[in-house]
Structure 1
Amino acid sequence: MSDPLPPITRRTALRAGLTAGAALAITTPTVASAARRSPLLRTGGKTVAIFGGGMAGLSAAHELAERGYQVTVYEPAYLGGKARSLGVAGTAAGGRQDLPGEHGFRFFPGCYRNVPDTMSRIPFPGNPNGVLDNLVRVEGTIAGFQDLPPIFLPVELGGLRQLTPEVLQNNLIGTLGFVPELPAHELAFFAKQMLVWFTSSTERRFGQWEYVTWEQIMRAEGKSPAYRKYLVNALTRITVAAKPQTSSARTIGTIGEALVLAGSGVVPEFSGGVDRILNRPTNAAWIDPWVEHLRALGVRFVLGQGASALHLRGGRIASVTVTGTASASTVTADHYVCAMPVERAAPLLSGAILDADPRLDGIRRLHTDWMVGIQYFLRRPTEIPEGHIAALGSPWALTALRQAPMWVGDFAATYGDGSVVECLSVDISDWDTPGIRYGRTAKECTAQEIATEVWAQLQAWLNTGTGWLREEDIHSWHLDPGITWSGGAIHNATPLLVNTVGSYDNRPDAHCAIPNLFFGGDHVRSHIDLATMEGANESGRAVANAILDAADDPAPRAPILPLVSLPVFDAAKAIDADRFRAGLPHLLDG
C-alpha cells in the first residue's frame, strides 16, 4: 500500500526554499572572471590530482587542461568508467578485432547538453564536430509484452509547433495508448499527473516531490495491474533503472519531463531528439579519442593506481595515498579531486575529513543498485527493426539494442572470427525479481543461468508472431566482467547510484568546506539529477569552476548547461509556488 503524501508544513516550505535556491545556484554561467573568495578559501597553484578516470574525472581534466592546469588522473581500472567498452579477450581471428563488449549500450537523449558540448571538442578524423558526429539518431523503439506481438513505436511526437498543457496531455494519451489492458480513464489520469509535474513550482519539487516516491505521485494504489505494471513500474525501470517504489518523485519527474520535451521537437536546445547512440564501440567512437586529446593537452594518466587515504593537515588536504598494482605511494598537488563512484568515495571519508565538513557524511547514506549489460553474438541477423528494444514488464526489466545495423563498417569483417554478424546488447535493470526460467533473481543465478534467463525473457517478450530470436543463432555471449562470484556470493564492481526519497539532501556539491578538496561523479548534485553520463560530466565542469574559484583564476568558467523548461508553464508554476508556501496541494493534484 502506498504511503499518504506528507503534509506541507512551514518547515517543509522553508526547507524547500533553501534547497531550491541551492539547486538553482548549481548553474555556473560562462564568465570572463570569477568573484573573489575569502582568503581562507584560496588555494593557489595549478597542479591537480584527479582520482577516478570515469566521466567526471575526464571532464574535469578536459576543462582544467584547456585552462593551463597541470592535471594527473589516477585510475585503478578502466578509463571511461561505466561508459567504457572493451573487447572480449581471445575472440579475434584472421586479423579482426575482438568481439565488442560493453557495460551496457550507450544512450544519448537530446536533453543531454553538457556531454555533447564536450564531445564536440574532441577531434575525430573526418568529423567536423569531433566525436559528436559519431552519434546516430534513433527514430523508433520496439515495445515488447509477454506473449503478445511486439509493437514498433516512433520515439518522437513530431509535427508540434507548441506544447501547451492541453497538447501535452493529449499527446501523452495518444503516445501511451498502445499499452494493453489499460483502462482509458487511468491513462487519462496518468497524463494528468504528468501535467501536475510539469506545472509544479521549484519549491514544491524540492519541498514535496523530493520526499515522496514516483509511485505515490502517480497514485498507483488501487489502479489496474496494467497501470501499475507498465505506466508506473516498467516505464520507470527501462528509462532510468530506478524503482518507482523507492525513487524520489522529483528525480523521475525531472528526467521524464526532459525526455518528453526532447521528443516534442519544440525545444531548440534539445535538437538531438529523444534517442541517439554511437556508431561504433564506445571506446573507438569516444573514449580513446578523448584520452588521446587530453594527453595532447598535457594530461598525465597513471593507471592501476587509486586513492586509498586522504590526509588532512591544517584544514587542507596535504597528500593522498594511492595503492594498486604497484606499491603504495604518496601524491601531492595544489588541488585534489575525488572523482570516484560513490561506493569508492565513501570509505575515504575519515573522522578528520567529516569533522572538517560534516555534510560529507551524507555521501555514506546514498544508495546504489545494479544495472549491467550482457551481449549476445549472433550468426544470423535478428531482423528486429532498428532502435532500442524495451521488454515492458519483464521480470528483469530488460532493454536491448541491435548494434551492428547502426554501426559503421561490416561487423563480421571487423570483429571476431568472421561468423558473427550481429551483437544484441542487453541491459539488466532488475536483479532482485525472480525470472521466468529458473524462478530466481539474477543475483541468485550463475553467469550461464543469467545468459539463459535473459534470452528466455527476450523470447517471451519479442517472439510472438515474429520468430526474431532463435537460440541456434547464438554464437556466444559476454556478461560484463564487473560481475564476479566468490565465496558462493555474487559481486558487482560497478553499481549505479539510485536517488531514493530525500537523497538530494545527502548528495555533495563539487566543492566542500575543505578548500582544496573537490568532488565529481554522478552522485554530485546536478541539473539532470540522475546517475548518468550527463550528470557526471556536469559535475566535472563544476569541479573545474570550483578550482578556478579557489585559485582566484580569472580564466573563463566552464559552461554548465542546465535542462530547459518551457515558458508556457511559468504562470502555472507561479500559482503553485504561492499555494505551496500557503501549505496547499497542487491545484490539479486532487
Structure 2
Amino acid sequence: MARTGNSRRTFMAGAAAGTAGALAAAGAAEAATAPAAVPTTRPADGTGTGAGRRVAVLGGGVAGLTAAHELAERGYAVTVYERRALGGKARSMDVPGSARGSRRPLPAEHGFRFIPGIYHNLPDTMRRIPFPGNANGVWDNLVAPREMMFARAGGREDLRAPIPWQGHDPAELTPDEIRRALTGILQTLVRLPLHETAYFVDRALVFLTSCDERRDEVWERTPWWEFTRAGRMSSEYQRILAIGVTRNIVATKAEEASTRTVGTLGEAFVFNALGRGADGPPDRILNLPTNEAWIDPWEAHLRSLGVEFRIGWTVREVRYGDGRVSGVLVEDPAGVRQTVVADHYVSALPVEHARRTWSPALRAADPMLGRCDKLKTDWMTGIQFYLTERAPLVHGHLNCIDSPWSLTAIQQAEHWPARDFPADYGDGAAVDCLSVDISEWDKPGILYGKTAKQCTREEVAREVWAQLKASLNDTGSTLLRDGALHSWFLDPGVDGLGTPNPTNEDELLIHPTGTFHNRPTAGTRIPNFFLSGDYVAVDIDLATMEGANASARAAVNALLDRDGSPAARCAVKKLYRAPEIEEFKRHDRWRYRLGLRNVFDLG
C-alpha cells in the first residue's frame, strides 16, 4: 500500500505493536523525539552549494521525489527517471473513459493514503510544497477522520468508536498510566475477555520497556504470534490482535511477522494517541485525490527548482567500473537504450525492481546489496467501488476483520469538501468512492472459493463486494445495495489474474522475522551510489511513505558528505521516545546483558 504504503498500510498500524493494539486493528490498520544528528537548517536560497554537480535519481515515487527536492534546494542539477508516473504507489490516477462533459475522470488509486501523526519527515516536506491558499502548503490538505470501525460478519455487532487524540502532552507517562490507557482502549473497542485484555497489555508493556538490544536481537527474531501467545487465546484475540494486525500492517502472517516491527509501530501509535511527540492526530488523510492534493503540486514545485523529469524511461542496469558507478543503462519511451552519466546516482526504485538493476560488479563492490535479495515482498492492492448513493457506514476507516481477504476501506467523498463528487467527476451518476485495500491474496474467498490471485479481475470485484456486504449487511440493515453500485476499478498494476502466473507491479516489502538485519543503509561502499526507498534502514521500521522520505533524506546527507558539501544536512527526525520510559529501558539493558527477562515479562 503507498500500501509504499504503504502508507495506507500503516492505517491499521495503530494496533500494530501490542502497544497500540486497538488503535491499529480497530481501524486507525516519532526525549523528546531524538534530535537529528545533523544540522536541520535548509539552505537559504538553494543555490551555489551543489552548483555544477549532476545527480540522476532513479525512480519517481515518494523516495525519488524527496531526494530530488532536497538536492535541488541545495543547488544540484537533478534529473528523475521514472518508468510509469510520478508518485509511484502513492499516486492517484484516472479511470480511463469515465469522464463526461466537463467533468474530471473518476479518481482511482493503488490504495487509500494514510498519513498518521507519528510521521514527521514527510509532513515537513509537505509543508514546503506550495498550494494555493494554504499557509502551510500541501500539509494543510490533511484532514482527520472522526472515527473508525471493526466490521464483523455473521451477525455480530460491529465495533465503532471515535479516534482517541488528546492533542497535548500528558503531564505524566508511566507504565501504570499506559496500562490503564491501553486497557481502556481494548475494553472499549475489542471487548475481549478480561484476562486476555490484561495479558495483552502486559505484553505491550514488555515491549515498551525493552531496551534496543533486546528489540534488535530477541524481538526481531520472535514472531508476533509467539510474542502475544496467540495460540493460547480465544479466536477473537487471534483474529483481531494477531492475524488482523499483522496482515493489515506488514502484509505478513502472524506466525512470521517480526515482533520488533509490529511493536515499534504500535508503540508509536500509543504515544500519538496520548498526544506525545506527534505531528497531528493518529489518523489523517488528504482532502482531495492524492495527485490533486499533493503529487501534482510537488511536481510543479520541483520543476520550479530546476528538476528535470524523464517519464516513461526504464532503468535497466546500474553499471560499475573503476571503483564507482560509471553510468546507468536506461530505455526511453521509444525503446531506445542509452547510458546516463552523472556525478552521483540515487537509486529510489522499490527493492524488487532496484535489485534487478544492480550489475554483478556493483553487487561485488558492496555485499550489503546482495543481502537485499533476502528481503521479501507481498501483495496489497486497492480496488475502488463507485456508488450512486452515499452508504451510511462510518466517518473514517473500517476494517472488515472477518473477511478472508483482510479488507480495509474508507468512503472518500465526505472527506473531499472542496469537491462536489457527482458534479466534478465521472458521468454525474456516481456520488461517492468506496476505496478498498485487499491485504490477503492467497486465501479462498466466500463467493467462488478461490484465492484473489486465482480469480479474474471481474471475479475479484464481485468477491470483494460480497465480502464487504457480508461484514456490513449482516445485522439487519442493508448498508451496501447492489443497485447502488455504479462501477469499479482495480489497480492496473495487477495483471494475469486467473492465470497460472499473475503479476503485481507494486508489491510491498513485508517484515518476517530477521528482516531488520537485511535492510541496507542509504550510503553504500560505492562512493557515488546511494539508496533510498521504503526498504532502506531508517528509524520507522516499516515500508511506509515516511520511511521512503526519511531514507531519501539520509541518502542526500550521505551524498553531501561524500561530496564535501558545505550545505546544511537534511533533518531526519526519529520516532518519539518518551523520557519517562527511557529509565526502564536502561534497567532492561542491564537485565538483558545478564541474561534476564524484562521485568514485566511474566512468560
TM-score normalized by the length of structure 2: 0.89
Correspondence for 1:253: 263
Correspondence for 1:19: none
Among 311, 320, 334, the alignment partner of 1:303 is 311
Aligned partners of 1:349 and 1:361 also within 8 Å: no
Query: Structure 1 pair 32/490, CA: closer, same or farther in 2 (3 Å)?
Result: closer
Specify the SS of the correspondent of 1:221: helix
Correspondence for 1:535: 547
**Residue type of the partner of 1:212?**
T
Aligned partners of 2:422 and 2:429 also within 8 Å: yes
Correspondence for 2:180: 170
Aligned partners of 2:351 and 2:372 also within 8 Å: yes
Correspondence for 2:578: 566
Matches of residues 477-488 of structure 1 in structure 2 within 5 Å?
A: 477-485=488-496, 488=500
- Write the distance in 2 (CA, Å) between the matches of 1:465 and 1:177: 25
Among 106, 110, 116, the alignment partner of 1:103 is 110
Correspondence for 1:370: 379
Correspondence for 2:57: 50
- Write the distance in 2 (CA, Å) between the matches of 1:394 and 1:121: 40
Matches of residues 362-511 of structure 1 in structure 2 within 5 Å?
A: 362-407=371-416, 408-463=418-473, 464-485=475-496, 488-511=500-523
Query: Structure 1 pair 137/162, CA: closer, same or farther in 2 (3 Å)?
Result: farther
Residue 152 (1) aligns with residue 164 (2): no
> C-alpha displacement at 1:157, in angstroms?
5.1
**Residue type of the partner of 2:595?**
G
Aligned partners of 1:306 and 1:324 also within 8 Å: yes
Specify the SS of the correspondent of 1:196: helix
Specify the SS of the correspondent of 1:444: coil
Among 117, 127, 134, the alignment partner of 1:120 is 127
**Residue type of the partner of 1:500?**
P
Aligned partners of 1:370 and 1:495 also within 8 Å: yes
- Write the distance in 2 (CA, Å) between the matches of 1:251 and 1:44: 40
Aligned partners of 1:370 and 1:429 also within 8 Å: yes
> C-alpha displacement at 1:324, in angstroms?
4.2
- Write the distance in 2 (CA, Å) between the matches of 1:587 and 1:559: 35
- Write the distance in 2 (CA, Å) between the matches of 1:177 and 1:99: 40
> C-alpha displacement at 1:183, in angstroms?
2.1
Correspondence for 1:519: 531
Aligned partners of 1:304 and 1:324 also within 8 Å: yes
- Write the distance in 2 (CA, Å) between the matches of 1:324 and 1:229: 48
Correspondence for 2:232: 222
> C-alpha displacement at 1:161, in angstroms?
4.4
Among 61, 66, 72, the alignment partner of 2:68 is 61
Matches of residues 205-354 of structure 1 in structure 2 within 5 Å?
A: 205-265=215-275, 267=276, 269-326=277-334, 327-354=336-363
- Write the distance in 2 (CA, Å) between the matches of 1:59 and 1:534: 10
Query: Structure 1 pair 32/494, CA: closer, same or farther in 2 (3 Å)?
Result: closer
Among 75, 87, 91, the alignment partner of 2:82 is 75
- Write the distance in 1 (CA, Å) between the matches of 2:454 and 2:237: 29
Aligned partners of 1:32 and 1:555 also within 8 Å: no
Q: Indicate the larger mover: 407-416 or 230-239.
A: 230-239
Specify the SS of the correspondent of 2:460: helix
> C-alpha displacement at 1:138, in angstroms?
1.6
Q: Indicate the larger mover: 283-292 or 225-234.
A: 225-234
**Residue type of the partner of 2:103?**
R
**Residue type of the partner of 2:378?**
D
**Residue type of the partner of 1:356?**
A
RMSD: 2.0
Aligned partners of 2:250 and 2:510 also within 8 Å: no
Query: Structure 1 pair 25/355, CA: closer, same or farther in 2 (3 Å)?
Result: farther
> C-alpha displacement at 1:45, in angstroms?
6.1
Correspondence for 2:28: none
> C-alpha displacement at 1:214, in angstroms?
1.2
**Residue type of the partner of 2:104?**
Q
Matches of residues 83-94 of structure 1 in structure 2 within 5 Å?
A: 83-94=90-101
Aligned partners of 1:30 and 1:558 also within 8 Å: yes
C-alpha distance after superposition, 1:469-518 (max 9, x if no partner): 11110000000000111764321110000122111111111111000000
Segments of structure 2 that go 5 or more residues without pairing to the other structure are: 1-32, 44-49
> C-alpha displacement at 1:180, in angstroms?
6.3
Specify the SS of the correspondent of 2:384: strand
Query: Structure 1 pair 218/97, CA: closer, same or farther in 2 (3 Å)?
Result: same
Query: Structure 1 pair 538/33, CA: closer, same or farther in 2 (3 Å)?
Result: closer
Segments of structure 1 that go 5 or more residues without pairing to the other structure are: 1-23, 35-42
C-alpha distance after superposition, 1:201-257 (max 9, x if no partner): 111111111111111211112222111111111133234433322121111111111
Correspondence for 1:582: 594
Question: Identical aligned pairs, as a percentage?
Answer: 48
- Write the distance in 1 (CA, Å) between the matches of 2:223 and 2:583: 26
**Residue type of the partner of 1:277?**
I
- Write the distance in 2 (CA, Å) between the matches of 1:257 and 1:358: 33
